[in-house]
Amino acid sequence: MNLKFALAVLHFNVQYVAGGMTGFGVPNDDRTAEQVEDQIITESFEPVLDLFLAHPTWGHDVEMQGYMLELIAARHPAVLAKLQTLTGRGQLEVMSFHYSDQLFTAFPRAAWDWSVAKNRSVFLGSGVPLSGAVFCQEGQAGFGMAGAMKDNGYDVLVWPKNLFTYQLGEAEPELVYTFGERQMITSRDLHKSFGGDTVDVTWTFVDDGELLATGGQNPYFPTIFKKSEKAVKAYETKLTNLETNGYAISKVSTYVSALRGVLPTPPPAPPMLDGTWQPNSTDGIHKWLGGRGVFFRDERDNDVRSLQALAQRELTVATALTKRAGVVPAALDDAWRLLALGEVSDASGINPFRGEVEYGIAHAAEALRIAREVIATTKAQLGLTGGAWLDAIDGSATAGAPPSDPSGHVELPIAVTADAGERAVTLSATKLEDGHFLVVARVPAGTDADGSLSVRFPGSPGDVIYTPGLMNAPVHVKRDGLKFEHFYLALSDGLLGLGGGWTVVKDQASVHVAAKVTTANGDVTFADETAHGNEATEWRFHLVQGDDARAAKIARGLNVTPRVWR
């Protein structure tokens, strides 16, 4: 048997220019968010549907956030009807793992939990089936997704080929892996033989779907971001030629099902770290968490992501509190939606312009306002007139005095260093309890708006210990199995092992830039190249001595399920 499959992932993102084009270029090219969204749907998405309507034997995968489907259903009923026809015929499958194209691997799971539930309801309401195949915004992929996929009915993850190669070198991947209790494939062309059977798989397109039907144009250039008959024809010809050569133009799910008939039990996926699809050109997730883009003077990666972390904490507390009180207001759902939209990856990378940066900030600020108001209202309903301690774990509320400022300044327990260019950085440490220190880096405002800040923690080169996105506890990944020189980690709960019994935990509401790890040594560096040198900055870290469980408890108490005084 010779199986030949041609696969694709057309990754669409209706938040390609989050918040619209106003302020990007000349005023004549301003477009509202709605205009940009509509143009994406009509100029780049609908032509793809038309292509596949004309070829009823072809299958394909498109990926989009639930928000895009929501907009299609609300404003483009004819496009929705075409999509329903194609999915009803079994030709297209729509991948969707998040309601907004959010940087979900960088935040505690609560935001994604809300997102995936919302997504399910959007798909159900629109009459479009949600595929069991998964591909994500920015190609985000990580091992924490396996359990989340199982919990939510997803079957197979498409792991970006470059993220695989960046971590494991040029070793050829298997056709399919077991991935927890799910499966995983890579987006790499492969030819494999099994006894007398052969399998050939080729990927015809794994990229921004907006580019396919527009000849490579993107929505940042609205005057030329138009359907190109020539581009569509070229793709049609490419698929026709493959079909002529015996390839099935197929869906991912069809391919994986076919493999089950010819392959022995797939091996487990090799250990890899959370990442994104083009780690070479974006330096991993650094571009979204501290790395400079083209418009770096307007970027504020740390402001965007730390404010969102602050808002997510508040929402997590508000949700727990109201659930326990038995009065969950609809406004909380609205706030989670705002936060999901704000956590869109484009607010801090790859090359966000000012409008996108401020989109992320504005949505998070409003989500935070609502959450705080819900907390105040709920406290009043509970008869709490003064300050109270609110616990996100169980939603309990206990009247009490505010926390006192931490005292007990001590020498830095390990040799932490910091650099802010021409600005002086002050590092201080406070002992909170035995083996638990608060480390604060402070840098005053300077005169030059162009600034940077980095803080480095010494470590020893053992396992990489961190909590992958969508997981609840740290894992160990063998450093000597990784082929890169360096790698950036988002740290969903802020935790990263330093070796020697030490763990650093970033306070995400203060510093939420990526951690740089290397294979040469165990040192860890947090750096923000988008800092504004004419503004004062304070970063807060916790240093924890002890085992993984202790560090995880502190990380969760800080970033995931905090106990706060309000």
Partner 1 sequence: MKRAGLLLLAPLVVFACSDSTSIQPVRATYAGTLAVDIRGAVDVTLAPSDQGIDVTLAAFKEGYGLFDPGKALTAKGKTETFAESPGWQMVTAKFAPLAATGASGGACGDKPVSLAMSLMRRDGNPRVQGSLTAYCGTAYSGVPARVLRLTGDAGPR
Residue 326 in contact with partner 1, rule: CB under 8 A: no
Specify whether the CB–CB gap between 113 and 336 falls below 8 A: no
Candidate segments 46-54, 94-102, 241-249, 365-373, binder of partner 1 by CB under 8 A: 365-373
How is residue 555 written in tokens? 């990380």
Minimum distance of partner 1 from residue 372's CB (angstroms): 5
Binding mask 390-429 for partner 1 (x = CB under 8 A): ------------xx-x-----------------xx-----
Residue 453 in contact with partner 1, rule: CB under 8 A: no
Q: Name residue 183's beta-bridge partners.
A: 156, 178
Q: Name which of 160 and 355 has its Cβ closer to partner 1.
A: 355
Query: Residues touching partner 1: how many (CB under 8 A)?
Result: 57
**HSE (CB half, 13 Å, CA atoms) of 139?**
24
User: What is the distance of C-alpha 188 from the center of its chain?
Assistant: 22
562: left (phi over 0), alpha (psi -120 to 50) or beta: beta
Residue 42 in contact with partner 1, rule: CB under 8 A: no
- Rounded CA-CA distance 431/180 in Å is 40
Residue 447 in contact with partner 1, rule: CB under 8 A: yes
Phi/psi of residue 190, nearest 5 degrees: -140, 150
- Rounded CA-CA distance 539/111 in Å is 23
Minimum distance of partner 1 from residue 63's CB (angstroms): 24
Q: Name residue 466's beta-bridge partners.
A: 475, 496
Minimum distance of partner 1 from residue 283's CB (angstroms): 26
Q: Name which of 116 and 338 has its Cβ closer to partner 1.
A: 338
With CB under 8 A as the contact rule, the residue among 369, 431, 456, 550 that binds partner 1 is 369
Residue 379 in contact with partner 1, rule: CB under 8 A: yes
Q: Name which of 227 and 540 has its Cβ closer to partner 1.
A: 540
Minimum distance of partner 1 from residue 206's CB (angstroms): 32
Candidate segments 1-9, 180-188, 429-437, 533-541, binder of partner 1 by CB under 8 A: 533-541
DSSP letter at 223 equals T
Phi/psi of residue 392, nearest 5 degrees: -75, -15
Candidate segments 56-64, 150-158, 176-184, 531-539, binder of partner 1 by CB under 8 A: 531-539
Minimum distance of partner 1 from residue 358's CB (angstroms): 4
With CB under 8 A as the contact rule, the residue among 66, 293, 446, 468 that binds partner 1 is 446
Binding mask 274-313 for partner 1 (x = CB under 8 A): -----------------------------x---x--x---
Residue among 315, 305, 71, 266 at smallest CA distance from 155:
266
Residue 565 in contact with partner 1, rule: CB under 8 A: yes
Three-state secondary structure of 13-40: CCCCCCCCCCCCCCHHHCCCHHHHHHHH
- Rounded CA-CA distance 368/238 in Å is 49
With CB under 8 A as the contact rule, the residue among 19, 47, 139, 451 that binds partner 1 is 19
Phi/psi of residue 35, nearest 5 degrees: -65, -40
Sort 131 into a burial class: Cβ within 10 Å, 0-12 / 13-18 / 19+.
Answer: buried
Residue 556 in contact with partner 1, rule: CB under 8 A: no
Candidate segments 246-254, 320-328, 453-461, 558-566, binder of partner 1 by CB under 8 A: 558-566
With CB under 8 A as the contact rule, the residue among 138, 155, 301, 507 that binds partner 1 is 507
Q: Name which of 49 and 368 has its Cβ closer to partner 1.
A: 368
With CB under 8 A as the contact rule, the residue among 68, 163, 335, 543 that binds partner 1 is 335
* Long-range pairs for 548-554: beta carbons < 8 A, 24 or more residues apart: 548/465, 548/473, 548/474, 548/497, 548/503, 550/435, 551/474, 551/495, 551/497, 551/503, 551/505, 552/467, 552/473, 552/474, 552/493, 552/495, 554/436, 554/505
Residue 107 in contact with partner 1, rule: CB under 8 A: no
**HSE (CB half, 13 Å, CA atoms) of 434?**
1
Q: Name which of 163 and 453 has its Cβ closer to partner 1.
A: 453
Q: Name which of 32 and 257 has its Cβ closer to partner 1.
A: 32
DSSP 274-324: -B-S-HHHHTGGGGGTT---TTGGG--HHHHHHHHHHHHHHHHHHHHHHHH
Residue 562 in contact with partner 1, rule: CB under 8 A: yes
Residue 386 in contact with partner 1, rule: CB under 8 A: yes
Minimum distance of partner 1 from residue 402's CB (angstroms): 6
Q: Name which of 170 and 433 has its Cβ closer to partner 1.
A: 433
Q: Name residue 389's beta-bridge partners.
A: 398, 565
Q: Name which of 116 and 509 has its Cβ closer to partner 1.
A: 509
Phi/psi of residue 159, nearest 5 degrees: -85, 125
Q: How do 92-95 and 60-63 pair as beta strands?
A: parallel
Candidate segments 38-46, 137-145, 182-190, 379-387, binder of partner 1 by CB under 8 A: 379-387
Residue among 102, 92, 1, 106 at smallest CA distance from 492:
106
Specify whether the CB–CB gap between 546 and 383 falls below 8 A: no
Q: Return residues touching partner 1 (CB under 8 A).
A: 19, 22-23, 27, 30, 303, 307, 310, 329-331, 334-335, 337-338, 354-355, 358-359, 361-363, 365-366, 368-370, 372-373, 376, 379, 386-388, 402-403, 405, 423-424, 443-447, 507, 509-510, 535-538, 540, 558, 562, 564-566
